[in-house]
Structure 1
Amino acid sequence: MTLLDYPFPLTVALSSLLNSVIYAIPLTKILHIKHVKLNRTYIIRTILPISLGKALAVTSAYASLSEVAVSYAQTVKATMPIFTVVVARIILGEKQSSKIYVSLIPIIFGVILASMTELAFDSYGLFWGLFSTLLYSFMNFMTKKVFDNTKMHPIALLSLTSQIAATIIFPVWFVKNSRLVWLSFDEQNRTYHSPDLNFIFLIGLSGILSFLQNLCAFSLIHQLTTLSYAVSNCAKRIAVIILSIVALKNPVTELNVIGMLITILGVFYYNRIKNKERHRTMSEPFFRNRKPRVFEYGSLKSTNSDVRLILDARI
């Protein structure tokens, strides 16, 4: 909604990262999260690439939203399993089962159908959406590596990477977007709404809701099974698509909606197959006695497996 009247994706991206920092830092104090000291080499080799990826991914996601409808953007984001399989193959040399590859077919078909029938289709919006999803796939693998190698709490990692990502984006924003924002106040150069109190309210609300979404995800995982969480994630995506069509009046066709639904059902099938394979792997002797590390969230606790699940189902 913010980008409809105020086409400043870089400004919204920077605001999103700053909001994450603003809310994460006091939360680490409230939950008494221990500070983990990382050496400079680890920060440069691991944390910095994650932060750079985060900066590019967030910016690309908002750039995509500024060009295409929310419903279509959500469909493009559903391609995450495809990139996850590709990245796992490239980085880890990991081969998937035939069922996993089969589950990707409806996702690919659904996105193609949705793209071909999208009334407000924009090639740049599609590119930035796919690029953002690809980056998030790489980031997921890197983030899991941090959880395995350190005792850093997820919220602490969110705060640290958001700080670095915001620092990376700020110079680019100052050179690119700050001038556009300034010119928008000039009546002669104005082609869209200039930033005002409503703009500040919208980006602030967007940041709060984004942060609360992450917290809700960590809370819900304690009440739901892995499969139930995957179902709820698909339901959330359907709700966002329906809400965008109704509230924002995004133009859609019947084939467009069918393509979106096929994609989401494909993601659900992928999550279901992945869940079965995960349980099968954990039941093997090598994993049977392995105790997962626990993260505390006040009165709630999450294991590293829970964190991985949220990363896999994210976006």
Structure 2
Amino acid sequence: MQTAAFTLSSPSLPILKPRRLTPSPNPRFDPIRVSASKRNDLSISGNVVSSPSWPKRSWSGCSSASPLRPWTSIPLPASESKPERFEVRATAAESANEGENSNSLLKTLELGSLFALWYLFNIYFNIYNKQVLKVFPHPVTVTVVQFTVGTVLVILMWTFNIYKRPKISGAQLAAIVPLAAVHTLGNLFTNMSLGKVAVSFTHTIKAMEPFFSVLLSAMFLGEMPTIWVIASLLPIVGGVALASVTEASFNWAGFWSAMASNLTFQSRNVLSKKVMVKKEESLDNINLFSIITVLSFIFLAPVALFKDGVKFTPAYLQSASLNVKQLYTRSLLAALCFHAYQQVSYMILQRVSPVTHSVGNCVKRVVVIISSVLFFRTPVSPINSLGTGIALAGVFLYSRVKRIKPKTA
């Protein structure tokens, strides 16, 4: 029988001797060759395997056609390698981080928008409210109009289920009534002050709210202030006194009305700590403010009718040579802005800490003072500006040092 011998081209390897193979009618199944054929589109002709993409190899076998097996295994495709699995996992982790960053950015933008709306509504409230009180010096009726519009908005909000109406128990209602009473007086005194003095001066006096808060908390709650809190109150009191001495629109009625507003508003905060220590889950801050608004309207509407009568009717306003349409429009806008900035303030308080909210309130007062001075062209002396700046700096300092707790023995 004739045999054929193939020799390797490498001189370092010995010459291979031919080995005799007998063709088999049923060739042995080779899974590697079959898999390689499917993956690399190899052409099979009879029993001879041809792959133009493989490098040339030397084979040992007989001259007859028989199944041949390569010396080296065929490398796996890149799609089955382990590094790609790692890359897929890394890509998924990066996508998750990008999602978290996107959510954080969205929340930051939402909070910034709420702060901007809070300041904007407050600015327009003070401007429209001052314009109304200039030509219609009846702060009780003006305050009732604001509570009336707020009550209508609250009823619409509950009726159309924009915000879920709370279930109030008798004990909760008894606790809310004092809060509504001081809330009513606080807004009434503020409007009385705005009707007598400049907007900037009213808000400068109202910068003394921390002083009344510390005083009432010590008297009724037994919360003694730290030395840092007391130190922060000194520039507040000194700045307000300096601004008051040099204020061009100074008026004792406006001054004491603003002081009474500070007292009543801080009394509301103390009462809320004292009697609203534990609230049901259904009564959140927004619903609490809504209930207080409705009760304030109920409290003040009879007082306005008794004191001012029907002076807000078109006939009376025309007899007083007032622009009825303009007065009604500005009163409505002031009331809408009043209710809007209060609601947004509570929405911000649900998202940030009380200290952050206090700092934001201090910045809001600065923005309102500057905008009112520019809009009404209020004359401000350098010493008056200095006093206002010192007072507001003290308020900012107070909001920062308030977190410092006294050391316990």
Q: TM-score range by the shorter chain?
A: 0.7 to 0.9
TM superposition shift of 1:220: 3.7
Pairwise CA distance, 1:275: 3.1
CA offsets per residue over residues 293-313 of structure 1, 9 Å max, x none?
Answer: xxxxxxxxxxxxxxxxxxxxx
- Say if 1:71 and 1:240, in contact at 8 Å, map to a contact too: yes
1:11 corresponds to 2:136: no
Read off the aligned partner of 2:213 and give its amino acid letter: T
Per mean C-alpha deviation after superposition, the further-off stretch among 198-207 and 152-161 is 152-161
Give the aligned partner of residue 292 of structure 2.
161
Confirm or deny that 1:123 pairs with 2:252: yes
Go from structure 1 to structure 2 and tell me whether the alpha carbon gap of 1:269 and 1:222 turns closer, same or farther (over 3 Å shift): same
d(CA) in 2 for partners of 1:226, 1:156: 18
Taking a change above 3 Å as real, the CA distance of residues 207 and 153 of structure 1, as seen in their structure-2 partners, is: same
Distance, in Å, in 1 between the alignment partners of 2:172 and 2:352 is 35
Deviations 1:143-187 (A, max 9, x none): 234543222222222222222221111111112122554695475
Deviations 1:244-300 (A, max 9, x none): 1111122221111111111111000000011344xx99xx9xxxxxxxxxxxxxxxx
In structure 2, the gaps of 5 or more residues are: 1-130
Gaps of 5+ in 1: 285-315
Q: Which amino acid aligns with 2:273?
A: K
Query: SS in structure 2 opposite 1:95?
Result: coil
1:33 aligns with 2:161: no
Q: Distance in 2 between matches of 1:219 and 1:47?
A: 20
How far apart are 1:140 and its partner, in Å?
1.0
Deviations 1:26-53 (A, max 9, x none): 33454543522221x5534x22222221
Q: What corresponds to 1:312 in structure 2? A: none
1:106 and 2:216 equivalent? no
**Distance (whole Å) between structure 1 residues aligned to residue 358 and residue 323 of structure 2:** 38
CA–CA distance in 2 between the matches of 1:164 and 1:222? 23
Percent identical: 26
Instruction: Tell me if 1:21 matches 2:151.
Output: yes
Alpha-carbon deviations, 1:44-85, whole Å to 9, x = none?
4x2222222122111111011000100000011111100001
Instruction: State the partner residue of 2:338.
Output: 210
Residue of structure 2 in register with 1:257 after alignment: 385
Kindly indicate whether residue 218 of structure 2 is the aligned counterpart of residue 83 of structure 1: no
Whether the 8 Å CA contact 2:286–2:343 is kept in 1: the answer is no
Identify which of 62, 66, 69 aligns with 2:195: 66
Structure 1 letter corresponding to 2:190: A
Mapped to 2, the partners of 1:220 and 1:157 lie a distance apart of: 15
Is 2:369 aligned against 1:238? no
Larger Rg: 2
Alignment size in residue pairs: 274
Distance 1:166 1:116 in 2: 36
Q: In the TM superposition, what is the alpha-carbon distance from 1:227 to its structure 2 partner?
A: 5.0
153-162 or 262-271, which moves further after superposition? 153-162
Structure-2 change in CA distance of 1:98 and 1:227 (3 Å): same
Bigger helix share: 1
Return the letter of the residue paired with 1:199: L
2:256 paired with 1:134: no
| Cα distance change, pair 216–167 in 1 and its aligned pair in 2 (3 A) | closer
Structure 1 residues 19 and 235 mapped into 2: Cα distance closer, same or farther (>3 Å)?
A: same
1:33–1:275 distance in 2 versus 1, CA, 3 Å: farther
Deviations 1:96-125 (A, max 9, x none): 101101100000001100110001100000
Q: Could you tell me which residue of structure 1 aligns to residue 309 of structure 2?
A: 178
Q: Deviations over 1:6-38 (max 9, x none)?
A: 212111111121222222333345454352222
Return the TM-score normalized by structure 1. 0.79
Query: For residues 144 and 94 of structure 1, what CA distance do their matches in structure 2 show?
Result: 12
SS of 2:196's equivalent in the other structure is coil
Cα distance in 1, alignment partners of residues 217 and 165 from structure 2: 31
Aligned to 1:121, the other structure's residue is in SS state coil
Separation (CA, whole Å) in 1 of partners of 2:353 and 2:290 = 27
Q: Which has the higher contact order (CA 8 A, sep 6+)?
A: 1
CA 1:275–1:25 in 2, change beyond 3 Å: closer, same or farther? farther
Task: For 1:293-304, list aligned pairs within 5 A.
Answer: none
Q: Is the 8 A contact 2:221 2:274 kept in 1?
A: no
